[in-house]
């Protein structure tokens, strides 16, 4: 399959600095997004450390399959998924150690949403309230779970979705990189198909733009660069109260994929017609 992607980050209309950070590594089909917290420039430090740690560890896999393993791993996971999960744990440890070593950095942290596409498999690791969505057949599905106070209250039935959207506690995270020496990382694998669209974003988008509106943009504009730009403009038109970062990844069928699919289809048909065997 062929991957087409684009990403943008914007400071928004209220903040004076941008604490979001993202990287796209085309040769790996690796997509990493982080939203920093901690005030002044410390959020920028945390998100930058998070992104660079994950990118470096995943890129090192090309040079060596061996490496350290951190956190619980499932045996059925691919090497890429195991590597990605470990990378997020390393990012957490690095930010925490830096905050302990530098008094001015105490309290800094970051979200992390990282996606690695290899073959038809999507490896996804996540901490915090930045999100990953899958848009398929006109349906938008959130792949990640927000690790925030209001999201937990909604899950427990304490708040409704509408009340959560109006809550002043939306920015309170229950889980973020760098706040503890060890952390739980949500990691999973998904199968992708041609025409799927993957969206990674900071909460600067989702606090301003509803899921149906996001779905509408992705449906009407399949070009990743144009859909990213439209979503950021929409978030700023709604007030832009936070930094906003958006990555859109479009999965397309390559000619090689179609040839392989056609070959398998013809072979299966021949077998059903009784001509698949030899003498």
Burial 48-84 (b: 16+ CB within 10 A, else e): bbbbbbbbebbeebeeeeebeebbeeeeebeebbbbb
CA dist 93 → 108, 178, 180, 204 (Å): 13, 6, 8, 26
pLDDT tens for each residue of 197-228: 999 999 999 999 999 999 999 999 999 999 99
Q: For residue 44, tell me if it sits in a domain.
A: yes
Q: In the chain, what are the helix, strand and coil shares in percent, each to the nearest 5? A: 35, 25, 35
pLDDT tens for each residue of 169-185: 878 899 999 999 999 99
Q: For residue 157, tell me if it sits in a domain.
A: no
Number of other CB atoms surrounding residue 274 within 10 Å: 7
* For residue 41, pLDDT beyond 80: no
Q: Which of 134, 116, 138 is nearest to 125 (CA)?
A: 116
| Confidence (pLDDT) at 114 | 98
Supply the pTM of this predicted model. Answer: 0.88
Rounded Cα distance, 130 and 224, in Å: 19
Q: For residue 247, tell me if it sits in a domain.
A: yes
Full residue range of the structural domain in which residue 18 is found: 2-146+173-272
Per-residue pLDDT, averaged over 102-119, amounts to 95
Q: Please give the mean pLDDT across all residues of the chain.
A: 89
214, 199 in Cβ contact below 8 A?
yes
Q: For residue 13, tell me if it sits in a domain.
A: yes
Q: For residue 166, tell me if it sits in a domain.
A: no
| Confidence (pLDDT) at 1 | 85
147, 174 in Cβ contact below 8 A?
yes
Q: For residue 180, tell me if it sits in a domain.
A: yes
Q: For residue 279, tell me if it sits in a domain.
A: no
Per-residue pLDDT, averaged over 128-132, amounts to 98
Q: For residue 124, tell me if it sits in a domain.
A: yes
Rounded Cα distance, 81 and 243, in Å: 29
pLDDT tens for each residue of 139-155: 999 999 999 888 888 88
CATH (domain of 235) = 3.60.40.10
How many independent structural domains does the chain possess?
1
């Amino acid at each position: 399959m062929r991957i087409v992607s684009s990403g943008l980050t914007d400071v928004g209309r209220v903040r004076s600095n941008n604490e979001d950070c993202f990287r796209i590594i085309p040769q790996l089909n690796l997509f990493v997004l982080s939203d920093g917290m901690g005030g002044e420039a410390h959020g920028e430090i945390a998100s930058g450390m998070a992104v660079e740690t994950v990118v470096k560890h995943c890129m090192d896999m090309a040079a060596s399959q061996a490496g350290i393993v951190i956190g619980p791993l499932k045996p059925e996971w691919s090497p890429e998924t195991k590597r990605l999960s470990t990378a997020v744990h390393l990012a957490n440890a690095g930010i925490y150690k830096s905050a302990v070593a530098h008094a001015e950095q105490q309290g800094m942290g970051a979200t992390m949403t990282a996606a690695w596409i290899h073959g038809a498999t999507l490896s996804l690791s996540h901490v915090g309230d930045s999100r990953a969505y899958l848009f398929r057949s006109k349906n938008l599905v959130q792949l990640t779970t927000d690790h925030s106070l209001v999201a937990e209250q909604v899950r427990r039935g304490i708040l409704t979705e509408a009340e959560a959207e109006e809550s002043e506690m939306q920015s309170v995270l229950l889980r973020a990189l760098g706040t503890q020496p060890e952390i739980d990382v949500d990691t999973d694998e998904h199968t992708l198909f041609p025409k799927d669209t993957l969206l990674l974003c900071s909460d600067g988008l989702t606090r301003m733009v509803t899921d149906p509106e996001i779905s509408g943009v992705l449906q009407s504009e399949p070009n990743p660069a144009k859909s990213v730009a439209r979503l950021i403009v929409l978030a700023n038109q709604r007030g832009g109260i936070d930094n906003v970062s958006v990555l859109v990844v479009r999965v397309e069928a390559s000619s090689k994929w179609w040839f392989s699919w056609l070959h398998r289809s013809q072979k299966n048909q021949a077998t059903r017609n009784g001509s698949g065997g030899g003498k």
